[in-house]
Amino acid sequence: MLGSQSVGVRAFTVSAATGDKVQLGSDYVTLKEAQNKRGLFKLDPIYDDVEENSSVINLWKRQKAAELNADSSAMSHIDELVRKEHNIFEVPDDFQRPYPKYPPPKGAVISDDGGDMVWSADLKIPYEEFRRLAKKTLIVKRTVQMTRKGKMPSMYAMVVVGNGRGSAGYGEGKSDEAAKAVLFATRAAIKNMSHFPRYDERTLYHDIEHKFKATKLFLWARRPGFGCRVSPVIHNIFECVGIHDIAGKVHGSRNPMNVIKAVFEALKKQRIPSDLAKARGLRLVDVNHTYYQGIRTTPVGRSKF
């Protein structure tokens, strides 16, 4: 029996045709070739939503019941046969969306039990921007606090989030479980996001040398196509920020916690051309020409001759 069927986003159509050929999509193939393409005739737990295809599944159950002449008392057996024949099973939790498909109504309270990337109004970020965020879990470690009652263990996490277009932030979280610590750190990172200027949307405006506690950080702006040649921790931060051409070096303490904080402080130290023009009494166009095209500056109110 041939007919039209639609299964989620992987829709297919099989229609009767003249001779021994059938139409599969936009091409005509033989019946034997169509039977060999079994991947399209089975629900995929990742690409196909079982709830959206419930009508198709119920149709398969009725056809199987009519084929076996089964009554209503044997529907549980029919359900098992259909699920086994068409590869139908519930979607694992690992493939569930970690955030709601649509923004909840205003004033709704979102439970944090569904994952560490759950949108809620207290994050103070639009839902459209939230869906574009990238998250990097850089540190997860076990800590112990010594009290008179003994050792009190807990988990510490440090997370960096960013949109890849100049905005990023880091957050720290602590809890009894690692998953909750990552959740608290992620939400803190989203709330602490700041915007950092980027030259040509790919690198820094100038070289930076910054010291944070025992960590001394050197960052150098580089030409297009140079790449991100820094340590793995700094590389993950620049992926979230959206900086692609840069070189860096860390002297002194290489503690990841201090390195992350040093990078964010260093990015805030950048002096963009408008700041230089205001400080030196020059026109903004002259500052841009001097630093990026090699043209001599013209002080405000003076002739260049």
- The segments of the chain whose pLDDT lies below 70 read 1-55, 70-76, 86-116, 291-305
Per-residue model confidence (pLDDT) at position 86? 65
Predicted confidence (pLDDT) per residue in 5-34, tens digit? 444 333 444 444 445 555 545 556 565 665
Per-residue model confidence (pLDDT) at position 35? 58
User: Which of 83, 74, 12, 78 has its CA nearest to residue 45?
Assistant: 83
Count of residues for the chain? 305
User: Which of 121, 144, 145, 117 has its CA nearest to residue 131?
Assistant: 117
Q: What is the DSSP string of the chain?
A: ---EE--TTS-EEEE--STTEEEETTEEEEHHHHHH-GGGGS--TTTS-TTTTHHHHHHHHHHHHHHHT--GGGHHHHHHHHHHHTT--PPPGGGS-SS-SSPPPTTPPPPGGG-S----GGG-S-HHHHTT-EEEEEEEEEEEEEETTEEEEEEEEEEEEE-SSSEEEEEEEEESSHHHHHHHHHHHHHHT-EE---BTTTB-SS-EEEEETTEEEEEEE--TT--EES-HHHHHHHHHHT--SEEEEEEE---HHHHHHHHHHHHHT---HHHHHHHHTB-HHHHHHHHHT-PPP-BTT----
Predicted confidence (pLDDT) per residue in 203-218, tens digit? 999 999 999 999 999 9
User: Which of 136, 168, 134, 158 has its CA nearest to residue 265?
Assistant: 168
Pairing of the two strands 246-252 and 228-229 = parallel
Per-residue model confidence (pLDDT) at position 297? 41
Residue 46 tokens read as 């990742």
Q: What DSSP designation does 41 have?
A: G
Q: What is the DSSP string of 105-150?
A: PTTPPPPGGG-S----GGG-S-HHHHTT-EEEEEEEEEEEEEETTE
**pTM, full prediction:** 0.60
Per-residue model confidence (pLDDT) at position 109? 47
How many other CB atoms are found less than 10 A from the CB of residue 252?
Answer: 15
Per-residue model confidence (pLDDT) at position 123? 84
Per-residue model confidence (pLDDT) at position 73? 61
Per-residue model confidence (pLDDT) at position 120? 77
Per-residue model confidence (pLDDT) at position 5? 42
